[in-house]
Amino acid sequence: MSTESASGSVLLGANSFIAQRCSGINAQFMKCKAQNSDPAKCADLAKDVTDCAAGVIDFLQKTAGPQFENYVTCLNNNNQEFKACRAEFSALNEAANGKASQ
Amino acid sequence: MSSAVGNDSRLGPSRELRQGKAAIRQDGPPKGGYPKVTYKGNFPVRGPGATAILATTGAVMAWGFYKVVVGNKQRRADKEEKKLARRNIVPVLQAEEDARYLARKAQLDKVEGEIMANVPGWKVGASVYHSKRFEQNV
């Protein structure tokens, strides 16, 4: 699944998971961008970033599909305001990370 | 009551009545006179009083200010949460845009190569500027 089909609410809904799992590669990519204005020089890292994010969304859809969809729908219906969707987010957290943690 | 001639009630009671032979029915003060008129103001002290009003106002204002401070802290936290979410996504969006840019640039360079194939000394995709910094044009 590529991120091209991920809408804004999907990315925002997954943002904490993307930060959790892809922080390393994201930081590397941003460092590369800061040093090189030509995008061709950071093309490999860009691909890794996209793959990592796509993997996170994939993981969320596999392990917590209904909860993730609920959360994204809630965000869509509430102007992408996080405080309107706390219940859905905690359900998603429980499902994605397992009941033991979070 | 009296003879028809010379009896005009506009002139007041007739002579025999004015001499006290019969009671004159007149509008007049009641027996014992009128009661005293209270011209002094009657303003009994009532209500909470100035100190109580000021204290209540002060208390309400203090509580209001406290709620404003609490609300501002919450709003700042909400804004920070939104900013953090956007910060987390920036690399993904930038990577997507870079990929799109490079793909589009490759397309345009290909077309440019076909058009300028027979022009000697033409460098496909070369910048029109002498500056070394990156100029985006797609």
- Write out the DSSP string of A6-65: --HHHHHHTHHHHHHHHHHHHHHHHHHHHH-S-GGGGHHHHHHHHHHHHHHHHHHHHHSH
Query: pLDDT, tens digit, for every residue of B11-58?
Result: 776 666 566 656 778 888 888 889 999 899 989 989 999 999 999 999
Nearest by CB: A11 against B78, B84, B89: B89
Q: Residues 6 or more apart from A32 whose CB is under 8 A from it?
A: A41, A42, A45
Q: What is the pTM of this model?
A: 0.74
Residue A21, burial from CB neighbour count under 10 angstroms (0-12, 13-18, 19+): middle
Q: Is B138 on the interface with A (CB under 8 A)?
A: no
Contacts of A36 in chain B (CB under 8 A): 134
Q: What is the pLDDT at residue B6? A: 62
What ipTM was estimated for this complex? 0.91
**Pair of tokens at residue B17:** 């009545």
Q: Is the pLDDT of residue A76 over 90?
A: yes
Give, as one character, the DSSP assignment of residue B34: P
Per-residue pLDDT band at B2 (split at 50, 70, 90): low
Q: Does the structure show a pLDDT above 90 at A62?
A: yes
Q: Any CB–CB contact under 8 A between A65 and chain B?
A: no
- Per-residue pLDDT band at B133 (split at 50, 70, 90): confident
Q: Residue A5 pLDDT > 50, yes or no?
A: yes
B133: CB partners within 8 A, 6+ apart: A37
> What contacts B129, CB < 8 A, 6 or more positions away?
B135
Q: If you average pLDDT over residues A89-95, what whole number do you get? A: 96
DSSP class of residue B138 equals -
Q: How far apart are CA B48 and CA B45, in angstroms?
A: 10
